[in-house]
């Protein structure tokens, strides 16, 4: 297995920021998923990367999550766009970094 140290810090930071956003807005299921994987990734376990990436595909995936009061989420309508923009940024970064680390580990 390749050393994950060079890029894992960015991934861990973004996972942590994403978890905070998700917990703040009641999306505990989606916060639990990367939280467990982050521990595995930090320990150098490539399976944590693979499991993390499984959240990003298909109907009802992490990509489909939109935090808004109409969904019963604890957020004001005025904050929803900014929160979802931040969540989108974090999702993209997490996915891109996890894919890059996984590719690197397979070399």
Q: What is the dihedral of CA 54, 60, 25, 76, to 10 degrees?
A: 140
Cα 29 off chain centre by: 12
Please give the Cα distance from 34 to 27 (Å, whole number): 12
Angstrom CA distances, 9 to 12, 35, 55, 104, stand at 5, 14, 20, 15
Show me where the domains of the chain are located.
5-105
Q: How many CB atoms lie within 10 A of CB 10?
A: 15
The pTM score is: 0.90
Angstrom CA distances, 99 to 23, 53, 72, 75, 93, stand at 24, 8, 32, 31, 10
pLDDT of residue 17: 98
pLDDT band at 107 (very low <50, low <70, confident <90, very high): confident
Per residue in 41-100, pLDDT (tens digit) is 999 999 999 999 999 989 999 999 999 999 999 999 999 999 999 999 999 999 999 999
DSSP assignment letter at 57: S
Per residue in 22-51, pLDDT (tens digit) is 999 999 999 999 999 999 999 999 999 999
pLDDT of residue 25: 97
Locate tokens 């005025």: which residue?
A: 78
């Amino acid at each position: 297995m390749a050393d994950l140290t060079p890029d894992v810090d960015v991934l861990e930071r973004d996972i942590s920021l994403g978890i905070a956003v998700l917990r703040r807005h009641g999306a505990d299921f989606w916060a639990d998923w990367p939280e467990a994987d982050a521990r595995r990734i930090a320990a150098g376990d490539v399976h944590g990367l693979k499991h993390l990436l499984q959240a990003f595909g298909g109907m009802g995936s992490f990509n489909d999550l939109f935090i808004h009061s109409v969904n019963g989420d604890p957020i004001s309508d005025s904050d929803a766009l900014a929160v979802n923009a931040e969540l989108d940024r974090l999702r993209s970064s997490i996915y891109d970094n996890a894919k890059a680390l996984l590719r690197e580990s397979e070399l």
